Amino acid sequence: MSLRRRLLAAALPLAALSGAAAAQDAPPAAQPDGARPARAEHALVKEAKEAQRAFERTRRNGLRFYNGGAEARCEERIGRLCYWNNNGDVPPLDERAEVVTEREALLELLGRAAAADPGDDWVATQRVRYYDEAKRPADAARAGVACAGTSSWCAALRGTAHHVAGRHGAAAAAFDSALALMPAAERCAWRDVSLWLAKKEQDAYKALGCDARAGWESRFWWLGQPLWMLDGNDLRSELFARRVITRAHAMGGIPYDMTYGDDMMESELRYGWPVAWSVQTAGALDPRAPSVIGHEPTPSYDFTPRGGALAAPTAADAGEWKLDEALPRMRYAPRYAPRGFLALPHQFARFRRGDSLVVVGAYDAETDRDWGSGAMRVGLGLADRTHVRAVARPAARAPRRAPSRCSPASRWWARSSSAPPGRATRWSRSPPAARSPTCSC
């Protein structure tokens, strides 16, 4: 599921946003956090800031009208914002050609400003932001590498660029570097997942000190990761990328006719940043100004594990994950799954082998036409109470119906080139003296 944003009239103070991130990919020498002297702003940077605000004003004035969600109702209010599920809505129209042209001109100016002052965090941030909007991931990555400003922030920019481009292992490494370079208090704030938790889990999480949260967060991330067969953890990287984009939006002009506030920050941290904007009215006789709508990516899901899975992972069943939760605390639309997720038909069987437990799994992607007929990649994961220990990938082009085996606890995934990915989770208890886990296919 996913939600769409509609703005309501009101005012809210600008959010106090934390910034940061770190360096890799052979970037230029960045400035250590907290050690940067006061710097005079280059004339090209000033010009770029004025151009950025002008671009957003022009974009806002030319937004297309949208009627694809006329039956939508407000499901949740966050400050000035009203949300509803937009997974079933008609997609918004493409942005106007003039916007594309003007954004390219802005990016060209930002590039000249970066060359003049590679240590300016604002310029590096806006370059990654607008290259992402323009769907130019390679240029976004190059902009992150060129960043020579605050070291932790530069690394976070690189992590964001890798994440949106689907380079999940590189994204995880960049964000880990960013966290390592941050002051302790900022690192704790960046790791905080409380906005994604239900009230009971949120209270228990907040009661822990930052250091004590590390083990809990590790369990949360591996239980929530959509596909174990991918490197890194794209759900975790998505949270950090959202922190980068919220700061990017707070730094400059935005498509909305209001200042960026902590309600917008919360909405983007929970549901992602918009990938399109439009305007909508309540009718020709409505005296109010049109509402600006931000369209988050779809289809999106709630991948967070419920309290039972967090408390006892090996005793959890599929009911501890509710991807289509009606009123979730978060949603995420993986970019590798533009058609969404399917349930994977499967069976698991358990067999004792001395001091070991073998789990045999079989899947069937031939009985449902939604799986299509393209090549498939499958994975069978192994985990215990603390983390994922191994993932078996039977073949680059797996058969559409096949058995495999793994021990002692398993999760199946399958991805087809012509269909949405699917997954199924089943846990099996390991015998008391089980050997080190192995996976074979």
- 72-102 in b/e form (b: 16+ CB < 10 A) is beeeeebbbbbbbbbbebeebeebeeebeeb
CA nearest to 424, candidates 384, 379, 386, 391: 379
pTM: 0.84
CA nearest to 411, candidates 333, 334, 314: 314
Q: What per-residue confidence (pLDDT) applies to 97?
A: 96
CA nearest to 421, candidates 343, 328, 354, 352: 343
The domain ranges of the chain are 3-280, 341-440
The pLDDT tens digits along the chain (441 residues) read 334 444 443 333 333 333 333 333 455 566 666 555 667 899 999 999 999 999 999 999 999 988 776 456 788 899 999 888 788 888 999 999 999 999 999 999 999 999 999 999 999 999 999 999 999 999 999 999 999 999 999 999 999 999 999 999 999 999 999 999 999 999 999 999 999 999 999 999 999 999 999 999 999 999 999 988 889 999 999 999 999 999 999 999 999 988 999 999 999 999 999 999 999 876 666 666 778 999 999 999 999 999 998 988 878 888 899 999 988 999 999 999 888 888 777 787 778 888 877 777 777 777 767 767 667 777 777 777 777 766 766 554 555 555 544 433 445 454 444 556 656 554 444 433 333 443 333
Give the torsion sign (CA, 368, 369, 373, 375). negative
Side chain identity, residue 233: N
Sequence length of the chain is: 441
